[in-house]
């Protein structure tokens, strides 16, 4: 199974990617993991990426794509993979398609985690971070009545990234960048949407039910 996972920030992609990949016995491959592995491993691509990162610049697409190509060519990805965080736009999707075609392969499925904007805001804007131990709590899901960490007693604060106006801006950017990608995969006939609201286990169950018809 060769699978791409897409969805807005706060949809639970990281958590679901881990569970789905484990259920399918395929590697979960995220661009963040690839970057960290290349930089910490001191690869040529990692060194090149680090020069951009150290300047605070975005790593160019061609470097990211080269890292993805290298990762997908590793032994553990030969029988399938789950990509999380790549592709991010139609241009990258076309490059991925051509890359796989060169190897005589193609994507089996693109799974979209569907969640409305208000639910994303509820999830992200309710998060509070401990200033001492870094643990994340949620004012609603953890039933927090005070601004202290239950683990260490440290003061809780709301990160700028989690403020409602920032979350809504991130959602706008996601829609601008990713709506064309979703349409692209709809046209390719391989996109399936899954309701990503509710408990993690229920979302995973829905995802696996959506994937099952595509398993060889």
Give catalytic status of residue 71 as yes or no. no
**Pairing state of beta strands 127-130 and 156-157?**
antiparallel
Of 73, 77, 60, 74, give the one whose Cα is nearest residue 2: 77
Give catalytic status of residue 127 as yes or no. yes
Find out whether 26 and 132 touch, Cβ atoms under 8 Å: no
Give catalytic status of residue 170 as yes or no. yes
Q: Which of 50, 88, 97, 168 is catalytic?
A: 88
Which residues 6+ apart lie within 8 Å of 90 measured at CB?
180, 181, 184
Give catalytic status of residue 168 as yes or no. no
Give catalytic status of residue 13 as yes or no. yes
Report the distance separating Cα 196 and Cα 22, nearest Å: 18
3-state secondary structure of 113: strand
Q: Which of 2, 28, 71, 127 is catalytic?
A: 127
Q: Which of 13, 28, 123, 128 is catalytic?
A: 13
Q: Which of 36, 47, 101, 159 is catalytic?
A: 159
Report the distance separating Cα 207 and Cα 16, nearest Å: 8
From the number of C-beta atoms within 10 Å of its C-beta (0-12, 13-18, 19+), residue 169 rates as: exposed
Q: Which of 97, 144, 170, 206 is catalytic?
A: 170
Helices (H) and strands (E) in the chain, counts: 8, 8
Active site residue ranges:
13, 88, 127, 159, 170
């Amino acid at each position: 199974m060769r699978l791409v996972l897409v969805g807005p920030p706060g949809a639970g992609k990281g958590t679901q990617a881990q569970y789905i990949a484990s259920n399918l016995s395929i590697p979960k491959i995220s661009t963040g993991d690839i970057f960290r592995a290349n930089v910490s491993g001191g690869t040529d691509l990692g060194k090149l990426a680090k020069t951009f990162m150290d300047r605070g610049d975005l790593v160019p697409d061609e470097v990211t794509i080269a890292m993805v190509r290298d990762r997908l060519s590793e032994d553990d990805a030969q029988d399938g993979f789950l990509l999380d965080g790549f592709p991010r736009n139609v241009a990258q999707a076309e490059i991925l398609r051509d890359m796989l075609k060169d190897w005589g392969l193609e994507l089996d499925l693109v799974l979209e985690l569907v969640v409305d904007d208000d639910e994303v805001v509820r999830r992200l804007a309710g998060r509070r971070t401990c200033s001492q131990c870094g643990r994340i709590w949620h004012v609603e899901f953890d039933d927090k009545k005070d601004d202290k960490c239950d683990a260490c007693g440290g003061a809780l604060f709301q990160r700028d990234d989690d403020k409602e106006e920032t979350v809504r801006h991130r959602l706008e950017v996601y829609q601008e960048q990713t709506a064309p990608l979703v349409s692209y995969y709809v046209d390719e006939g391989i996109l399936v949407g899954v309701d990503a609201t509710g408990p993690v286990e229920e979302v995973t169950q829905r995802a696996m039910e959506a994937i099952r018809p595509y398993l060889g």
